[in-house]
Amino acid sequence: MQGWRKRRGLVAAGAVGAALSLALTACSGGGSGSSANGNVTITYLTHWGPDQVKQLQTVASAFHSKNPKVTIKVQAVPFANLLSTLQTQGSSPTGPTIASIYDLWLPGLIKSGALAKAPSDVASSVKSDWPSNLADDVSSNGDVYGMPNEVDLYALNYNKALFAKAGIAEPPKTWAELETDAKKLTAGKGTQGFGVITSWAAGVVHPWLSLVASNGGQLLDGTTPKLTDPKVKAAADLYKRLVSEGVTSPSMSTANANTTGPYLDNFVNGKTAMLIMANWWQGSLKQAMGARYKDIATAPVPVGPDGTKSSSVSYSWMTMVNGKASSAKQAAAWKFLSWLNGANSGKSGSSAMGDILMSMGILPSRTSDLTAHATELSDPFLKTYVDELPNATPFPTVLGGQEMTEAIQKQIESLVFGKTSPDAAMSAAQDQATAILNKANG
């Protein structure tokens, strides 16, 4: 889980070539492996954009100055290409040594043998220095497979200037208020009151599931999909009403391969009044909006008629090490990751990773990083997300989870574009998700 450009710093299509294979200029050495004198070169694959790649290069250069035998090369691909790159190269000895991965991909990558188990000292650090739920998120059968980096969740983002013009004093707290406000924000204003996202799996499914969670529904019971449950289908019915009433415009919803595109542009340009989105895109909004960023505020996801409190889908990212890399590469990779994510490698008690994440408006997950950045995390935009963390509903990390997400995405998009009904969409999603999970876990 942007206008993601700054955030998660997805690489813009035109910048991919320039960002690929960006070797640290301060680092010496070369090649892709170990040499007789003990020098080792490791590669770090990310989906971040040029600004964040430069930050990563800077901190990796600092590590190199203390560990001159280790050379680190940063490689970047668009988010849309990250998983396929890992699937084709990640289990090869010559593939990326380190990679940033979405937690949903963990079970499949473990099954394929692409991930190395963390050494005991790293595993111990993960279990003691991160919240237990995030340590569990990077573990399987008691083994740790990576280091948590960020945690993301969703909230209602809204334009205060548009609300004021429509005479709306505060953000909606319920679905009923959301519908009423969306109509006021749309009528005669050349805007859509409530925006959705299409053409990007997580961008489609996560905001919708945040409404499901806020209505007391759930995606899975164990590995059994619950997509035809009335509390889940109600969110599909809500989308149908919003589109039918003309307050949500499908033509304004598209995301591109870098998770930028019309959905972001319309919000930035004041054409979308409300959108459910993750915390990481704060940097993108600031960069794109300039002085107009002051008009943006956040609020908890509105509560549905069957819900008792606001909730939001949450997910996390982690860094992993190639299980097929040489022992020398693996050792160097874990040493670098331990330093990158360790307390005091950054500023004022933060890890270097924590500083990079905060520069993008992304919530770091290491306990000491949250303490070190407490003042920044009290920022009004981010405070909603921080306050809602205890109420978040983690997206289930199960084998087949990515394929299930994509199946649900297609059905929601069919609904949004008027190709199917809520009942038919949820029935098809239920059948497809069931078949995918049964096959993956059978």
Rounded Cα distance, 354 and 364, in Å: 5
Rounded Cα distance, 45 and 23, in Å: 12
Query: What is the tens place of the pLDDT at every residue in 371-412?
Result: 999 999 999 999 999 999 889 988 988 999 999 999 999 999
* CA quadruple 376, 382, 384, 390: dihedral, nearest 10: -80
Closest alpha carbon to 414 in 428, 404, 395: 428
- The CATH label, of 3.40.50.300, 3.10.580.10, 1.10.357.10, 3.40.190.10, for the domain at 7-151+316-381 is 3.40.190.10
Contacts (Cβ under 8 Å, ≥6 apart) of 85: 45, 77, 96
Rounded Cα distance, 119 and 389, in Å: 30
The pLDDT profile of the chain, 442 residues, written as one tens digit per residue, is 333 333 343 333 333 333 333 333 333 333 345 555 789 999 999 999 898 899 999 999 999 999 999 999 999 998 889 988 988 887 788 899 999 999 999 999 998 889 999 999 999 999 999 988 888 889 988 999 999 998 899 999 999 999 999 999 999 999 999 999 999 999 877 899 999 999 999 999 999 999 999 999 999 998 999 999 999 999 999 999 999 999 999 999 999 988 889 999 999 999 999 999 999 889 889 999 999 999 999 999 999 999 999 999 999 899 999 999 999 999 999 999 999 999 989 999 999 999 999 988 789 999 999 999 999 999 999 999 999 988 998 898 899 999 999 999 999 999 999 999 999 999 999 999 999 999 998 7
Residue 336: the pLDDT is 97
Ranges of each domain in the chain: 7-151+316-381, 152-313+386-441
Residue 17: the pLDDT is 33
User: What CATH number belongs to 152-313+386-441?
Assistant: 3.40.190.10
Rounded alpha-carbon distances, angstroms, from residue 208 to 154, 159, 184, 241, 279: 10, 20, 22, 14, 16
Query: Would 7-151+316-381 and 152-313+386-441 be classified into the same CATH topology?
Result: yes
Rounded Cα distance, 174 and 219, in Å: 21
Query: What is the tens place of the pLDDT at every residue in 273-286?
Result: 999 999 988 988 99
Do 275 and 208 contact (CB within 8 A), yes or no?
Answer: no
Rounded Cα distance, 387 and 256, in Å: 31
